[in-house]
Amino acid sequence: MYEFEYHRAKSVDEATSQLSGADDGRFLAGGQTLLAAMKLRLAAPSDIVDLGGIAELRGIRVDGGNLVVGAMTTHNEVAASKDVAKAIPALAHLASDIGDRMVRNMGTIGGSVANNDPAADYPAALLGLGATVVTRDRRIPADDFFTGMYETALQPGELITAISFPIPKRAGYAKFPNPASRYALVGVFVSESGSGVRVAVTGAGPSVFRVPDMEAALKSSFSPESLAKVTVPADDLNTDMHASAAYRAHLVGVMAKRAVTQALGK
Amino acid sequence: MPVKLSLQVNGKAASAQIEPRMLLLDLLREELRLTGAHQGCDTAQCGACTVHLNGKAVKSCNVLALQAQGGEVVTIEGITPADGSLHPMQAAFRDHHGLQCGFCTPGMVMSALDLLNRNPHPTRDQIREELDGNLCRCTGYHNIVSAIEAGAKAMG
């Protein structure tokens, strides 16, 4: 790891100003991706602004019809939260299956969302629930947030403070994990709410995406059977040593059916 | 530029002037000479470096020492009774042949204790599930699961 200047912020405003004074600074959330990248010298920031001491970024609350999760809330905190289990059990299930126990004790929802790894779990939940990314200065709908592989709508120095999830009627998440890394080879999040049905896929393409054909089929009948004839084209999907694009396309169908079954509580 | 770090390690105050890039694992091993937590894969996969930070298991090779500023760290050295005898979980690993080379054992024991903090009477399946982040290349895990099961019983 290369040297860097270290700053520990006590507030969102302080973190923002510390980062704006740096040549090439990065916010440090849980560090479970960033520190690994720095050790490999894939990332070499001039400055690190540690968000670990900012109390206002932690915590989970229900606000009307929304579940609001602070950006520095860890995966295990989401997985163990009674509020999450009651409002969106699929989200607790998703968080409980990220990485391993020790990674989940450090890794945060804000860090995961800002990183937008193409195989991360949380982007599927945000897009599949129509969540809103709350930053210090504005609110960004998930539909506009994930713009490409490791790319987001965040401006340089813009800090995520919370994620706001509208509470759906029902939702489910199923993933086929890579057996070594536990990242999603394919993960599918489905939800049904007053505003319609959403199906979001992670792991299969360069960035999380929705499947309009599946959404239409589930809108007419929310059951695994209604997905039987819907296929996902393999054209733009990832091919690597773990799985071909055609296999991933197949898995999207299988995981979508499992996610619907889970949403139905079967 | 070196930064001052102060924290509690195994119940005692510790402090050091460190480079910000120092990992928690290196602080423990190189500065504080607590060599029980092991550097295995150094990529946050194998879990040999597992310690407790503020009561929760973390992989100390993937945490900056400064992230533990003002916090409490417990290592494998910190669970051993002052008279040098073994903690019941360590004794269970010995009794059930839960190790061969022993390299992964400190991480296994710290993960096991983290599990028991949340679930004092886990099933064998739950134990296997919870060991997701701890790799052992010798034992095939069977005896480790038995050791943790027995350790849990011994701890009541």
pLDDT score of A143: 98
Best probe of the B interface among A28, A35, A50, A102, by most B CBs < 10 A, is A102
| H/E run at residue A180 | none
DSSP string, A60-74: EEEETTEEEEETT-B
CB contacts of B122 in chain A (<8 Å) are none
CB < 8 Å from A in window 21-80 of B: 21, 23, 42-44, 47, 50, 53, 56-59, 62-64, 66-67, 69
Low-confidence ranges of chain B (pLDDT < 50): none
- Mean pLDDT to the nearest integer, A75-90: 98
Best probe of the A interface among B108, B132, B135, B148, by most A CBs < 10 A, is B132
H helices present in A189-244, as ranges: 212-220
Question: Across the interface, do A8 and B132 touch by the CB < 8 Å criterion?
Answer: no
- Searching chain A, which residue's CA lies closest to the CA of residue B24? A35
d(CA B18, CA A57): 27
- Can you tell me the ipTM of this complex? 0.96
Question: Which residues 6+ apart lie within 8 Å of B85 measured at CB?
Answer: none
A 10 A CB-CB count for B67 gives: 22
Q: B88-154 — its CATH code?
A: 1.10.150.120
CB contacts of B111 in chain A (<8 Å) are 101-102
d(CA A18, CA A20): 6
Best probe of the A interface among B62, B73, B131, by most A CBs < 10 A, is B62
pLDDT, tens digit, 9 for 90 and up, residues A140-188: 999 999 999 999 999 999 999 999 999 999 999 999 999 888 899 999 9
pLDDT, tens digit, 9 for 90 and up, residues A85-137: 999 999 999 999 999 999 999 999 999 999 999 999 999 999 999 999 999 99
pLDDT score of A13: 97
Question: Across the interface, do B130 and A101 touch by the CB < 8 Å criterion?
Answer: yes
pLDDT of A198 higher than 80: yes
Closest CA to A29 of A159, A189, A184: A159
pLDDT, tens digit, 9 for 90 and up, residues A32-49: 999 999 999 999 999 999
Domain ranges of chain B: 3-79, 88-154
DSSP code at position B135: -
DSSP code at position B139: S
Q: B3-79 — its CATH code?
A: 3.10.20.30
Question: Rounded to 5 degrees, what angle do the CA atoms B127, B42, B87 make?
Answer: 45
For residue A190, give Cα distances in angstroms to A94, A168, B72.
12, 10, 40
A 10 A CB-CB count for A229 gives: 9
d(CA A234, CA B23): 42
pLDDT score of A179: 84
A 10 A CB-CB count for A237 gives: 23
d(CA A77, CA A134): 19
Confidence band of A266 (pLDDT split at 50, 70, 90): confident
B101 touches chain A (CB under 8 A): no
Listed in order, strand segments (DSSP E) in B99-154 are none
- Searching chain B, which residue's CA lies closest to the CA of residue A100? B133
Question: Which residues 6+ apart lie within 8 Å of B21 measured at CB?
Answer: A1, A2, A3, A4, A38, B64
**Please, what are the domains in chain A?**
1-54 (3.30.43.10), 170-263 (3.30.390.50)
Among A1, A105, A182, select the one facing B57 at the smallest CB separation. A105
Question: Which residues 6+ apart lie within 8 Å of A47 measured at CB?
Answer: A4, A5, A6, A7, A18, A19, A21, A22, A23, A24, A25, A26
A89 touches chain B (CB under 8 A): no
Count Cβ neighbours within 10 Å for each residue of B10-36 and write b for 16 or more, e otherwise: beeebebebebbbbbbbbbbebbebeb
Cβ atoms of A222 and A192 closer than 8 Å? yes
